[in-house]
Amino acid sequence: MKRFCVGLLAFAMMASVFANGTTEQGGDTSFNPAKDINWTVTSKPGGGSDIYTRMITDIAKKEGFVTKNFLINYKTDGGGEVGRAAVANTKGDLANYTLLTFNSGDLMPMDKNTNNRLANFKPICLMAVDKQVLLVNADSKYQTMQAVIDGVKAGDQIVIAGSREDDYMTFKALINELGFTEQQIPYINNDSTSDAITSVLGGHVAIALAKPAASQAYVESGKMKAILALSNKRFTGVLADAPTLNEVGPYKAVEVPVWRGLAGPAEMSDAAVKYYSDLMRKVSETETWQNDYIKKNGLISEYMSCEEAAPFMVQFEKDYLKKIGKDK
């Protein structure tokens, strides 16, 4: 999977101007941070978004790409909507010092549940494409995906916990392929991947639908076991034993790729957008990013600059709004 959503990327490369969030041509290009940078994460520490954010900030500081500090703020109220709204409404010079971890799993519930839209942000870049894995406790009675399937067919109600709209869409794709219903396999939505994992560790639900980055430590420690890679091919490292769905039985592999990006407030200057976009490109090209984040966690390296990411995200939102009937 060399590039994610090739058709949309081709569209993005052709588009030169989009009203919702692209940087304008010309103007001041001399932005350089003169003070610390506020970075909002709308899910809890320990989850995929937190790991993604801290990897970026650690690399940027370690490599000397920035001299100022990143001040990470976790704003998770309302499923992250409070944090996203706060960033969207940041005005004036402060807008140039406000960043938001912004993924497809953030955009979709925002579009679905609120009146906040991509037009209220400035897309800065896309950094990677993520996928998911199913986890159970090490002592679970369901030690394989086949055991889960057999249990559901026998009448067991096996609950899956996940987070955000992207996880739910993956869950829906999975049960549709298996031929099950949400009555047979209920889904519980959590504010973060870490919450979903905690609910399994506490014995409240049987399975966590999680991102590989947030799963690694639990599998390495022996507390949890990965039973299914929600991907067209297996992950590597400690998750390598988890089969894809087509390896389990007469099914197609299931995956719903999740793009991971970065955005700023709508009032962020074009010069600041370009600065942060270039900064993220530098981060994405480091060996640490490629080896310790992308390869280690089974992601797809997918950097898009602000010029590419803006039309890509616009088209993604347009397609999603149409899918849920809110494109009018």
Distance CA 164, CA 11 (A): 27
What pLDDT, on the 0 to 100 scale, is given for residue 164? 79
**pLDDT value, residue 185:** 96
Write down the pLDDT at residue 175: 97
Last residue of a domain, one of 209, 228, 248: 248
pLDDT of residue 191: 79
Q: How many domains does the chain have?
A: 2
136 in the same domain as 124: no
- By the 8 A CB rule, do 127 and 59 touch? no
Distance CA 167, CA 214 (A): 14
Evaluate whether residue 56 is within a structural domain: yes
User: How many beta carbons lie within 10 A of that of residue 74, not counting itself?
Assistant: 17
Domain that holds residue 187: 132-248
Q: Is residue 122 domain-shared with residue 137, that is, in the same domain?
A: no
In 152-178, which positions are buried (b, 16+ CB within 10 angstroms) versus exposed (e)? beeeeebebbbbbbbbbbbbebbbeeb
CA angle centred on 98, ends 26 and 195, rounded to 5°: 135
CA distance 159 to 188: 7
One pLDDT digit (tens) per residue for the chain, 328 residues? 444 444 444 444 334 333 333 333 344 568 999 999 999 999 889 888 999 999 999 999 999 999 999 999 999 998 899 999 999 999 999 999 999 999 999 999 999 999 999 999 999 999 999 999 999 999 999 999 999 999 999 999 999 999 878 899 999 999 999 999 999 999 999 878 888 999 999 999 999 999 998 899 999 999 999 999 999 999 988 999 999 999 999 999 999 999 999 999 999 999 999 999 999 999 999 999 999 999 988 888 999 999 999 999 999 999 999 999 998 7
pLDDT given for residue 48 in this prediction: 87
Pick left, alpha or beta for residue 290 (phi over 0 → left; psi -120 to 50 → alpha; otherwise beta): alpha
Burial of 51 per CB tally in 10 Å (0-12, 13-18, 19+): buried
Say if residue 52 is in the same domain as residue 89: yes
- Predicted local confidence at residue 29, as pLDDT: 61
Residues 167 and 86 in one domain: no
Determine the length of the chain.
Answer: 328
Rounded-to-integer distance, Cα 28 and Cα 39, Å? 23
Q: Is residue 1 part of a domain?
A: no
Shared domain check, 119 and 20? yes
Count of Cβ atoms closer than 10 Å to residue 63 Cβ: 13
Predicted pLDDT at 297:
85
What's the rounded Cα separation, in Å, for the pair 177 and 142?
A: 19
Phi–psi pair at 177, nearest 5 degrees: -65, -35
Say if residue 221 is in the same domain as residue 300.
no
Query: Is 254 within the bounds of a domain?
Result: no
